[in-house]
Amino acid sequence: MDSKIFRYWGYTTNFFQSIFLIAVRLYWGFLFFYAGLSKFSDMGNVIPFFEQFGLPPIVAYLIATGELVCGILLFFGFLSRLAAICTTVIMVGAYVIAHPANFYSFFSYPPYFFTAPAFSFLMASLIVLFFGPGLFSIDAIIKCRMMKKSRASEVEPPKHEDHSGDAPSNDEHDNEEDDHSDKK
């Protein structure tokens, strides 16, 4: 009885966790995509913004590409943790480079850290990084199919053929040894 309750509890919490994770992925995946798209559409202003921090123009293109691609990956839940690592790096970089006062106020005045524009994006990235994409994702479908294939290969053990007639029996082997000892 207790195992049924715990199993039901596990299914229920996993389902509700997945509902939360799909909401996070869809919302912030779209926002990352939109942020990358808007950077590409306004690269004339984005490059000078990055240059004021001493960053070359290629970094603006890399950040825009990262936000665009990782936003799509997060939205669909494909390679979610890899995308979350990339967006986490981008957001920590945004904190350190574009909002250093907010970043360094983490211990001295936390509300200032939490009000930075990069905070919600960073939290969404960390949530997906630590908890995964949830049940409603392409990653979960791939994992489910891989587990079915591995279970199917475990169900049918390989068939062993009977080769007992191929090898000489111990009696025959003993007789051969006796024959060789007689010849000496």
Q: Is residue 167 in some structural domain?
A: no
Provide the angle, in degrees to the nearest 10, between the axes of the packed helices 43-51 and 2-41.
100
Residue 27 makes CB contacts below 8 A (sequence gap 6+) with 124
The ranges of the chain with pLDDT < 50 are: 184
| 179 in a structural domain | no
Structural domain that includes position 98: 2-154
159-173 pLDDT, tens per residue? 666 555 555 555 555
Q: What angle do CA 84, 85, 91 make, to 5 degrees?
A: 85
Total domains, the chain: 1
Domain assignment present for residue 82? The answer is: yes
Say if 178 falls within a structural domain.
Answer: no
Write the CB contacts of 73 (distance below 8 Å, at least 6 apart in sequence).
29, 79, 80, 82, 83
CA distances from residue 133 to 17, 32, 93, 116, 160 in whole angstroms, order as listed: 10, 16, 23, 25, 42
Q: What is the pTM of this model?
A: 0.72
Pair 7, 110: CB distance under 8 Å: no
Please check whether residue 136 lies inside any domain of the structure.
yes
Residue 182 forms part of a structural domain = no
96: exposed, middle or buried (Cβ count in 10 Å: 0-12, 13-18, 19+): middle
176, part of any domain: no
Other beta carbons within 10 Å of 27: 14
In the DSSP assignment, the letter for residue 98 is I
pLDDT tens track for 135-160: 899 999 999 888 888 877 775 555 66
Is 100 within a domain?
yes
In this prediction, residue 61 carries a pLDDT of 97
